[in-house]
Structure 1
Amino acid sequence: MIVLALMSAFMITLGVFGCGAKIIWNPLRVEDWIAGFMIILVALMMIGLGMLLSLAVKTVRSATNLSVVIGLMLAFMAGIWFPKWWLPKWMQILADIFPGAWAIDVARSILVYEAELAEVAGRVLEVLVAATAIYLLGVLAYRKILRRYAEA
């Protein structure tokens, strides 16, 4: 998490001072803190997904390859690199059911379009529930597999 925070700070600094990006962020607005919270939830969700995926691979090398492929695909579908409306319709449908895309939409709505808390509250709750569920599934599945190996 510390590395994530440092890299985020670096990228924001580079964007603002290197590229002239205008980022609307006011520490006195609750909504602006929610945007950062969404990023943390996505990180926890991806950790849980990583734990689930680690159960399907046999070697570190295959885990690395699988995580790169899935990570790139999910980042693309979440609208991180390109707006979702640029995607083909079938990919837009997949993106709309991916909780990471919901979190990015919330952060974008707050930071770019200055959305109010009432506008994003429902989606924030959905992201919180999805992130918690995926993370807990990852932890539970991982524990079960570790117990199986310990007993063998």
Structure 2
Amino acid sequence: MKTLVLTAFLSGLMLVAKAQNQKKMEINKQDSLAIGQVLENQYFKGIYEGDIEVLRPVYQPGTLLFGDVKGQPYAKTLDQYLDGVKNRQSVKDSGKPFKGTIISIDVVNSIAVAKVHVKMYDFNYDEFLSFHKIDGKWFIVNKMITDVGD
């Protein structure tokens, strides 16, 4: 009898654990889709059009941007970055190629990292974008880029 009760108890625990794991996977999938929508509908669009009103809401105030461009160190505050986007000719108006590609999105609870590739002007960037979910919305809190050449 003890064996039967113990077996039933362990089986129940396994079912609960499986259900919790499935729920967690579903939440991660929903969060990955939400981040993908931010990237496609705001991030890539804002960069392409040079529209900081589309781009600014994607970032958490105080975001820092680091990396290298053509072998030179790159470090900017969010305001410096957005000012540069605002004052350059947009990729859209330049007629140069543009393509934003999501390589991967990894979510753990309220944090995530997206790896993207951005082809714009004469640059090919690999970017790592750190996200944080705040009040149910995903924001970029750090951006790291490197120019990988052609």
Relative to total residues, which structure has the larger strand share, 1 or 2?
2
Of Structure 1 and Structure 2, which has the larger fraction of its residues in helix? 1
Q: Which structure exhibits the higher relative contact order, with contacts defined as CA atoms closer than 8 Å and separated by 6 or more residues? A: 1
**TM-score, reference length from structure 1:** 0.29
